[in-house]
């Protein structure tokens, strides 16, 4: 569905979001930009794939208490479970990336500035396919 | 000055009426024409603000309203810029007038909104960012409003009570507006006891989807004088700017911001730049305003607009609200109409409705919600995909 947005295979330790970087001005894009550099001051360079930082800090967060409309896929027969959305600031890329939090992480578990990392998970599945996506997971404080 | 005159303003009351947008737009147009004292057949250009839901933009074009009013051979224009459609329609009309292509132009916007969350059109469209944010993240519009609200709480110390206070203020103003959908006062307790939609925002923090229509009759200053309107309300500026790269605040419908790794982010940010462009064109500043109509998609977002309009410093929005400055009777009333809190969203109509409110306020005919001695006002909103929108009107 969104080919090349994240690494395929491997385990959580290696899972990364994939963006592209302009060879001329070093601007980074996510979701990946493969056609033209969008920096208006750049004449345009070759766009090459780069993995984004695995960790970032919470920019903001919310929980959706109502079922979103299609094209979001959810089972209308099942009771709606609120899901948490996290916007995460990546320091090296100086950008904010939105994603769902891993299941079980609630608003109360988050705060602006807290460290999170990206992990793989299942977006939805049908008879033929499991659709993978990215989730943000709070980083356990080192003890 | 590149002023154009507002000869007439008209609306169809907001609500959930269950009828076609054509009916609301046509009613608003007839009201604006009657207000202007202009015969429809004397209008030589009509500009319609489009909506796309439930159809394709062509169906909602200026031609739809021109046909409903009766084909009479006028120039026709249709514009789509999501929430900024109305402002872009006004801008198109103004450009035609200033270019001498038309002397008097009818501007119309109307919508019949679906119930519940706005959602993108159907089909598998992974090249559409608006489709992607729903498909991959379930990120509804209120989810973005909630992200801004939560961040304000963390950065500026805003509280849920501050957000509720915006609703209480706007509902009190809307109760005085016959065109508003909701015409009853709301208490902070009612906000606090309404259901959480997108944490921390509750149902009464978020504007509803509504039906509604609004229209304006604009003309050259010369036409206005000939028509006997010597001192009309004038539109002095229309801002339709895009953001400047890199846009570093996460905004609808994007999954990620631009990266500031290669280029320093601009100062000011996008919403602030919308107001700046309008102030610059109008040659006035926030200190000259009598009132402002802002897009309060959520209560928390209204506080951001105070700051983006320069009514107060960054982070001081809640303080300005608490001191009563932005309420009716305050130093700078914001959303004297009742705002989207009282109207709900009828997307292509709303930016036009904001200018209708300025028109009545600047004429001194806004009744119980009149801002005393109003001389200058600004409207502001923002259209999906990077359409800035602000209008400055003066008397």
Q: What is the DSSP letter of B83?
A: G
CA distances from A103 to A61, A85, B292, B347 (A): 14, 11, 43, 35
Its pTM stands at 0.96
What DSSP letter does each residue of B168-226 carry, written as one string?
HHHHHHHTT-TT-S--S---HHHHHTSPEEETTEEGGGBPPB-EEEEEEEEE-HHHHHH
**What are the structural domain ranges in chain A?**
53-141
Q: What is the pLDDT along chain B (395 residues), one digit of tens a residue?
A: 799 999 999 999 999 999 999 999 999 999 999 999 999 999 999 999 987 764 455 566 799 999 999 999 999 999 999 999 999 999 999 999 999 999 999 999 999 988 888 888 788 888 889 999 999 999 999 999 999 999 999 999 999 999 999 999 999 999 999 999 999 999 999 999 999 999 999 999 999 999 999 999 999 999 999 999 999 999 999 999 999 999 999 999 999 999 999 999 998 999 999 999 999 999 999 999 999 999 999 999 999 999 999 999 999 999 999 999 999 999 999 999 999 999 999 999 999 999 999 999 999 999 999 999 999 999 999 999 999 999 999 99
Pairwise CB contact (< 8 Å): A27 & B151:
no
Pairwise CB contact (< 8 Å): A72 & B138:
yes
Pairwise CB contact (< 8 Å): B138 & A100:
yes
Compare CB distances from B259 to A59, A68, A93 and report the shortest one's residue. Answer: A93
The answer on pLDDT for A123 being more than 90 is: no
Contacts of A27 in chain B (CB under 8 A): 246, 258-259, 261-263
Compare CB distances from A63 to B136, B199, B256 and report the shortest one's residue. Answer: B199
Q: What is the DSSP letter of B122?
A: S
Pairwise CB contact (< 8 Å): B151 & A63:
no
Structure tokens at B89: 């329609």
Do residues B395 and B263 lie in contact, with contact meaning Cβ atoms separated by under 8 Å? Answer: no
Pairwise CB contact (< 8 Å): A26 & B250:
no
The answer on pLDDT for A58 being more than 60 is: yes
Cα–Cα dist B345/B378, whole Å:
19
Do residues A110 and A104 lie in contact, with contact meaning Cβ atoms separated by under 8 Å? Answer: no
- ipTM (interface predicted TM): 0.95
Cα–Cα dist B152/B294, whole Å:
18
Closest by CA position to B112, among listed B31, B25, B11, B33? B25
Contacts of B124 in chain A (CB under 8 A): 71
Report the half-sphere exposure of A134 (CA within 13 A, side-chain side): 30
Residue A112 sits at the chain B interface (C-beta within 8 Å): yes
Pairwise CB contact (< 8 Å): A66 & B250:
no
């Amino acid at each position: 569905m969104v080919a090349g947005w994240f690494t395929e295979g491997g385990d959580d330790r290696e899972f990364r979001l994939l963006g592209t970087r302009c060879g001329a001005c070093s601007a980074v894009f996510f979701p990946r930009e493969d056609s033209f550099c969008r920096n208006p001051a750049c004449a345009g360079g070759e766009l090459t794939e780069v993995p984004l930082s695995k960790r970032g800090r919470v920019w903001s967060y919310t929980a959706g208490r109502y079922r979103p409309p299609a094209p979001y896929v959810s089972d209308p027969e099942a009771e709606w479970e609120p899901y948490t959305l996290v916007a995460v600031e990546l320091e090296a890329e100086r950008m904010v990336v939105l994603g769902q939090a891993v299941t079980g992480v609630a608003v109360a578990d988050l705060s602006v500035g807290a460290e999170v990392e990206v992990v793989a998970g299942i977006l939805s599945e049908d008879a033929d396919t499991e659709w993978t996506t990215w989730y943000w997971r709070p980083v356990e404080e080192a003890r | 000055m590149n002023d154009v005159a507002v000869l007439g303003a008209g609306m169809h009351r907001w609500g959930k009426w269950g009828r076609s947008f054509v009916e609301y737009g046509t009613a608003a147009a007839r009201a604006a024409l009657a207000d202007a004292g202009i015969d429809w057949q004397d209008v030589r250009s009509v500009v319609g603000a489009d909506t796309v839901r439930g159809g394709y933009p062509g169906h909602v074009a200026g031609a739809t309203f021109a046909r409903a009013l009766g084909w009479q051979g006028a120039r026709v224009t249709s514009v789509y810029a999501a929430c900024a459609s109305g402002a872009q329609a006004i801008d198109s009309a103004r450009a035609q007038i200033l270019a001498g292509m038309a002397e008097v132009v009818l501007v119309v916007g109307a919508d019949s909104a679906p119930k519940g969350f706005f959602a993108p059109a159907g089909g598998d469209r992974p090249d559409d960012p608006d489709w992607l944010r729903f498909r991959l993240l379930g990120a509804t519009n209120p989810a973005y409003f909630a992200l801004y609200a939560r961040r304000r709480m963390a950065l500026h110390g805003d509280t849920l009570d501050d957000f509720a206070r915006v609703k209480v203020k706007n509902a009190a103003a809307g109760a005085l507006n016959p065109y508003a959908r909701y015409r009853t006062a709301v208490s902070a307790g009612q906000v606090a006891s309404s259901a959480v939609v997108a944490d921390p925002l509750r149902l009464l923090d978020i504007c509803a989807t509504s039906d509604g229509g609004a229209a304006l009759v604009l003309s050259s200053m010369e036409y206005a004088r000939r028509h006997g309107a010597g001192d009309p309300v004038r539109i002095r500026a229309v801002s339709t700017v895009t953001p400047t790269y890199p846009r570093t605040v996460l905004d609808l419908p994007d999954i990620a911001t631009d990266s500031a790794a290669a280029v320093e982010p601009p100062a000011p940010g996008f919403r602030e730049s919308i107001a700046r462009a309008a102030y610059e064109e109008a040659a006035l500043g926030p200190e000259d305003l009598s009132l402002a109509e802002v897009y309060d998609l959520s209560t928390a977002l209204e506080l951001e607009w105070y700051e983006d309009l320069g009514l107060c410093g960054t982070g001081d929005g809640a303080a300005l609200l608490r001191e009563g400055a932005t309420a009716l009777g305050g130093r700078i009333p914001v959303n004297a109409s009742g705002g989207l809190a009282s109207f709900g969203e009828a997307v292509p109509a709303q930016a036009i409705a904001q200018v209708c409110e300025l028109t009545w306020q600047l004429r001194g005919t806004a009744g119980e919600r009149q801002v005393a001695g109003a001389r200058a006002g600004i409207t502001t909103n923002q259209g999906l995909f990077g359409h800035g929108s602000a209008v400055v009107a003066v008397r």
